[in-house]
Structure 1
């Protein structure tokens, strides 16, 4: 559901980035404005128009409610100002003159794109390049490398591209039977539900039940009908036991379930999921798959972008691959073998210890009387269900969270800690400057390009980190914290949003740090990562640690 929001301005003196506006942080480039100006010929039944621009903090034409003319050499005809989601209660006078929406019917595909080219504001290369594709009904699996355009394709389905992000677009697009370019996002949101890659940045309310009710309230669902729909959605997403919890107390995986429940409660025609299992334990991932299949069996459509294909490929009606902005139908290859790494030497002495540690929040323990230690040159992997205490354990080892009882001891040396939301670490103008800052503070005599090359980031080293795709942002955060020679490495779901190539590079990097004597602790649901790196595995569940 598209929430009310102020106009987006360019990256200048006024707030323009999501982190400055305290708004949703997108997976793609974000500097575009919310206003769209376009010519009348853009429907699927007509010839695809030439490209038109969406202002970066500005717009073509004047105030709302008027029809403006522009030289044909620029935009090709009469312009109509669209009424968009930044003012959901206001409907501009020109709305009645918009081209009619495409009518739905029994044979309408989930989405149709024809010669669709889209570029983010300020970008020279298109994020989607002359895409002609039809996504049929049922389950569609979207694959491809990080930064290839998957999130852009998904955001096109609910109108965030182009209406929210701005930029330039040419061609035609239809989603859930609606013309994407001519339909405001507040209308598309009723038909196309969307779960983002970063659920921690998606929430509006502070409690689970209110969060799931948010979309229903905005679509005027009667109060008598809300309770049943909220309860059903929470059960389908495996989050019914979280109904009365505060979102700030949830793990990343639990937040993903709540985000899914918020969409399912809306009962849209199409559900779009961007990396929905990236932080889920095996049980949570199975629940998401079950909910997805039930949604599909009810006659609706599901589009999922996912790097971990094993659970989904067999159930998908079709698979499309997005790479370098091009989209094509493919046959999914689901066999992902263990990544082999060599062992450099034996583990050394103790690097950190927890002695009778009880830890939690606001006086409420999450971990109870934990005794655990890690050694130099060792990789310790934390497994367990969402909400079991893995993140609390990592934060306690790092010193970010003070224990309620017991003692924590660490050997001297730099600590590299990657939280579940790596975007919180990224605030410098470029990816390279993020790495250089770490090296400067730590006094390390190393070139930033060394780790950028190791993680495949040289091509985006000069980019603003928050303008990258989710997988690229994850790698940028890893480069920023792992540059140099940290002595204690703590990584919370480090492969989130990563394709196989990126996971292979990360595995090699962690193995190198281990062989240099670092003590490494990973909290992960990625079985391939665990099989490749774990010297020891412990289970974190119900406040205790075993193994």
Structure 2
């Protein structure tokens, strides 16, 4: 169905090709998962499937890409709309109408599909994706999972043979991600649609993949069966890393596979002490960095946050979790001071950030929002970093060093808008963290980051906490929470429904438990690094 014939893609002024002599074939009805580190060329590979690369992105493509036997060089991308449907990382940014039903019909209108056929296809798509009850809902009122399914439906109504998905679950809570993946696998198995998806959160999707395409970052591509490629891949989900550590062959792709082999490993770990975490709560005699009391946020008559109270201890990393639409972002903005707050009080080191100047508030609390690109306004990466250093009054090069820790190798002359989603997020994280305020608020900070970048970012978060700062991060990334947080607060409909040490909260939750906890349950291990350290300690004592 999809053929890459010696494809090489060069971008102007790039030090090397994004893709180099790629030979790749994806068959009809396959679910192909594309993986690799941030900036390795995944978006370029996806864009080449329908001709966006190079027709829209620029650059030079040598070789040939064929879809259903048709060369992408033979026609513009719009003429592939009936053959290839594409859904980007941010569904809301791609919507062009106001309601679900109108959005599903829009593509067919552009293709000149007869009205009676349009009506039939809309009904079929609503039923296929389980969104019939949403048909008249405004798109902006939908949850992230609902928006993702509508975005998929909007391209499916054109009956494409190929569906291209860029980070389809990156902004979704675990339950919503499962719903979207169930819809995707149904398309593959029941309708024979070929799906090519790039996803950093491999733990969610790798078990469903028929083929794995790994981009090492040098322009080459490795493709094959998932167990075969994961043996050499530089990125792998926790369950695979656990399999590598335990020496299991073939490598497990799912929690179910791993649990069947884990009895011996559980026996080895039974008497091993778990490493101590940081500070989960404000202790006796401590002065909290942030104190919020009975915070209320409403949008019109709709309550988003209902009298939430929370304290952040110095040196603590606290994760704020909950399904899409539970009020996490609204709470962060209220704590930062620039968002609406209809009730309650917020104090950061004795000062309400909403009642001081912007410069003073920056020294108290910093916030990285869900759409970090909104904070970038200069022409190059170097200018953004230099400006961050000046505004924060820190030594020159501070921001650049932070950026290189998160995602090394980003050229200083590149325009921020030309970066990949993960690279752009890394830049904004570096800019905001340059100021190193007393309280750091992060809204979905790992979206678009690969496992290596997340590990580096986790080290940075722990470093901030070790300096006495408090960090509150809202996230759906359960694996990141398991590795970095001391405490978890769970929101539902604007109210706190769980609050406690990370191990106590996530292990007890089927939705929020990380893969290692599920494999080694009932033992309370959360990450592969914890298991590795415990086994190494046992060997050292022998």
- Is 1:443 the equivalent of 2:334? no
Structure 2: how far apart are the matches of 1:536 and 1:215? 45
Which of the residues 100, 121, 136 maps onto 2:27?
136
- Which string of whole-angstrom CA distances, capped at 9 and with x for unpartnered residues, describes residues 175-212 of structure 1? 23321111221221111000112334222223333223
Within 5 Å, give how 1:32-43 maps onto structure 2. none
Q: Which residue of 1 aligns with 2:199?
A: 306
Distance across 1 between alignment mates of 2:61 and 2:103 = 33
Among residues 491, 504, 511, which one is paired with 1:540 in the alignment?
Answer: 491
- The correspondence of residues 169-180 of structure 1 with structure 2, limited to 5 A, is 169-180=61-72
Shift of 1:281: 1.1
Aligned positions of 1:462-541 closer than 5 A: 462-541=413-492
- How far did residue 226 of structure 1 move? 3.6
For 1:415-434, what aligned pairs fall within 5 Å after superposition? 415-434=365-384
Are the counterparts in 2 of residues 116 and 131 from structure 1 also a CA contact under 8 Å? yes
Deviation at 1:302, TM superposition (A): 0.6
Give the SS at the match of 1:229: helix
Change in 2 beyond 3 A, CA 1:145/1:265: same
Out of 103, 106, 109, the position equivalent to 1:217 is 109
Q: Which moved more, 1:158-167 or 1:242-251?
A: 242-251
Instruction: Determine whether 1:324 maps to 2:218.
Output: yes
Corresponding position of 2:315: 377
More displaced, 257-266 or 173-182?
Answer: 257-266
In 2: Cα distance, 1:222 partner to 1:325 partner? 43
Q: Indicate how the Cα distance of structure 1 residues 378 and 273 shifts in structure 2: closer, same or farther if over 3 A, else same.
A: same
Unaligned segments of structure 1, at least 5 residues: 1-109
Residue 503 of structure 1: how far off its partner (Å): 0.7
Q: Give yes or no for contact 1:431–1:465 (8 Å, CA) kept in 2.
A: yes
Alignment partners' CA distance in 1, 2:299 and 2:12: 42
- RMSD between aligned residues: 2.5
The CA distance in 1 between the partners of 2:364 and 2:382, in whole Å, is 20
**Residues 400 and 430 of structure 2 are in contact (CA less than 8 Å); yes or no, is this contact kept in structure 1?**
no
In structure 1, how many angstroms separate the alpha carbons of the residues matched to 2:379 and 2:17?
A: 22
User: Judging changes above 3 Å, is the alpha-carbon distance between structure 1 residues 251 and 474 closer, same or farther for their aligned structure 2 residues?
Assistant: farther
Cα offsets for 1:297-322 (capped at 9, x unmatched) = 11121111112223322222211112
Moved more, 148-157 or 428-437: 428-437
Q: Contact 1:359–1:405 (CA<8 Å) still a contact in 2?
A: yes
Q: Secondary structure at the match of 1:326?
A: coil
Identify the structure with the greater helix proportion.
Answer: 2
Q: Distance in 1 between matches of 2:470 and 2:220?
A: 42
Q: 1:399 aligns with which of 321, 337, 344?
A: 337
Mapped to 1, the partners of 2:345 and 2:134 lie a distance apart of 31
Please give the residue correspondences for 1:48-59 in structure 2 after superposition, counting only pairs within 5 Å: none
The residue that corresponds to 2:524 in the other structure is none
Give CA deviations for 1:271-294 in whole Å, capped at 9, x if unaligned: 011110111111111112111111
Q: State the aligned residue count.
A: 437
Aligned to 2:536: none
- 1:72-87 map, 5 Å: none
Q: What is the CA–CA distance in structure 2 between the aligned matches of 1:119 and 1:459, rounded to whole Å?
A: 16
SS in 1 for 2:496: strand
Q: What is the CA distance between 1:335 and its match in structure 2?
A: 4.2
Change in 2 beyond 3 A, CA 1:345/1:365: closer
Q: Once the 2 structures are TM-superposed, how far is the Cα of residue 236 of structure 1 from its aligned partner?
A: 4.6
Q: 1:375 to 1:249 in 2, by over 3 A?
A: farther
Residues 361 and 464 of structure 1: CA distance in aligned 2, closer, same or farther (over 3 Å): same
Q: State the distance in 2 between where 1:228 and 1:538 align.
A: 45
**Retained in 2: the 8 A contact 1:359–1:392?**
yes
SS in structure 1 at match of 2:171 = coil
Closer, same or farther: CA 236–441 of 1 in aligned 2, 3 Å = farther
| CA distance in 1: counterparts of 2:293 and 2:158, whole angstroms | 47
Q: List runs of 5+ in structure 2 lacking aligned partners.
A: 231-235, 243-273, 352-362, 499-542
Cα pair 2:318 2:485 within 8 Å, conserved: yes
The CA distance in 2 between the partners of 1:231 and 1:390, in whole Å, is 34
Distance 1:530 1:441, change over 3 A: same
Whole-Å Cα distance in 1 between the matches of residues 128 and 441 of structure 2?
Answer: 33
Partners of 2:431 and 2:375 lie apart in 1 by 8
- How far apart, in 2, do the equivalents of 1:181 and 1:423 lie? 32
TM-score by length of 1: 0.74
Cα shift at 1:224: 3.8
Paired with 1:382 and 1:522, the residues of 2 have a C-alpha distance of 6
Aligned partners of 1:242 and 1:435: how far apart in 2? 43
Assess, with a 3 A threshold, how the Cα gap between structure 1 residues 372 and 226 changes in structure 2: closer, same or farther.
farther
8 Å contact 1:122–1:167 — kept in the other structure? no
User: 1:272–1:302: 8 Å Cα contact kept in structure 2?
Assistant: yes
Structure-1 residue corresponding to 2:303: 365
CA contact (8 A) 2:294 2:344 kept: yes
**1:119-158 equivalences in 2 (<5 Å):** 119-137=10-28, 138-158=30-50
> Which of 161, 171, 175 matches 2:53?
161
